[in-house]
Chains A and B, each alone.
Chain A
């Protein structure tokens, strides 16, 4: 399995490759327990590779052959003006376009060594591994407790016995525990928008994803919660691959390790964030960063 990941990741992801090499070195002659621990490490280092992705809504193609790599343990910001296709690309990663009439997708999306658009792929398991936070909070019409535990229980990650304990741990992680500890049985709709979004993040984290997709997650939130979510993004990087769509360049500067600029459904430039903001290689990137387009 490690070899498979390695073979796949070598050409595209130098950063992951380095990690995989350490894994391999340690793996030389280890016990079974060690091997499973390593498998976990390897899984935690899951990158996402998009190759020649095209998305068409009816006759209108909005994503024209996007090729981009999202490195493990890094935060990649997908930026670009409204309508450039960044959300469409993001939603293609966890097959959220599936079943919508008139949507045609071609190209390849790989998470780790698994092809997302393989017809034999287990879509539900893929989606468990690829968590998502939406533009506006969308808590379920269930109690706060059930919002968090529902998917984790259904995927068999939590048992009835440890659900309470793990719910508390997750809520503490996102910083919501103190606010909701006395009303876990209540509906989430009386929470503030920011608290609801944190609840949705907790819900996504409960199913232990390898990749986290964030679709302008703070666009409807107050500055305080925005700061809180950005802190969490930075902290979560150790555990997973993070891809954030944002049209807020300041936010991209604050949270991203890597930036990918999309214009009119095409990748203009992908580069480490420092370099992208200081010295963009492409003239169009320069124009966008300077605020001359978009």
Chain B
């Protein structure tokens, strides 16, 4: 009697778990499915060889990738440096203020960041719609993630390594570079992956700061607007023809593909990190 009751409870529990899993997986599959279904007729090489001036996505895809590179170049080093400072060098009082600032930044809605960036950079400084303004606005949004993951990754490095290095009289920068950073690299890299994923999916801050262009990206940082994938989704969905809707869906498919690549990279890195952690533990 007791056993069967327990069996029934188990069954209910597992059914609920499976239901919850379905609730998470189903929307993702539904979104990808409907995107593919809608985009199917236009998913050809033509998308990659023509720009949005015709009916392709070349400029938007390249623009999104340029923004990603910009984030890696600008937000990457700054965020990692800030995380290193918080984990290794900052005196506790100052660090807690910096941490508060970083967490507040993470909480500001992206459209507000975009609007402020527009007022200050595009208008006040007369940069106009520009790549640099967009990179700065996106950086402000993703920096807190990079800072946090770097700090956490460094804090997870065993204290015994710090002590071992200190006991040998190694300078702090050598300790950081040779002893602490190598095991933290997978964690830091996964923070960068998250930052890139956010950048790929943001629209609001870019609307204000980089505008949009039907032409391929230029090497100019100022006064030149830039195309990017999320704008196509945003705009084409409001346009009248069926083909424009299909291109919007195709842009969505590309965003999802980039995200999948990023998530896969993140998984790969995390698995490496786990292997490394297992080695360090024995």
Contacts and interface: CB of A to CB of B under 8 A. Distances in A.
A142 B92 CA distance: 30
A101 to B, nearest CB: 6
A140 B282 contact: no
B95 to A, nearest CB: 11
A121 B168 CA distance: 16
A48 to B, nearest CB: 15
Contact of B168 (A146, A189, A193, A203): A203
Interface in A103-145: 123-128, 130-132, 134, 136, 138, 140-142
A50 interface: no
6 contacts: A96-B163, A123-B169, A125-B169, A134-B167, A138-B164, A204-B167
Given A140-B178, A140-B179, A141-B183, A151 B170 contact: yes
A94 interface: yes
Nearest to A91: B163
B275 to A, nearest CB: 10
B124 to A, nearest CB: 42
B169 A207 contact: yes
Interface residues of B, number: 22
A155 interface: yes
A150 interface: yes
A127 B182 contact: no
A150 B168 CA distance: 10
A187 interface: yes
A124 B169 contact: yes
Contacts of A130: 167
A154 interface: yes
Question: Interface centre among A123, A140, A203, by most B CB within 10 Å?
Answer: A140
B187 to A, nearest CB: 13
A151 B169 contact: yes
Contacts of A203: 168
B280 A207 contact: no
Interface string A173-206: 0000000000000010110010000001001100
B91 to A, nearest CB: 9
Contacts of A142: 178-179, 182
Interface string B159-192: 0110111111111001000110011000000000
A237 B146 CA distance: 49
Nearest to A203: B168
Given A141-B182, A187-B279, A189-B279, 5 more contacts: A138-B164, A150-B168, A154-B174, A203-B168, A204-B168
Interface string B240-282: 0000000000000000000000000000000000001001101
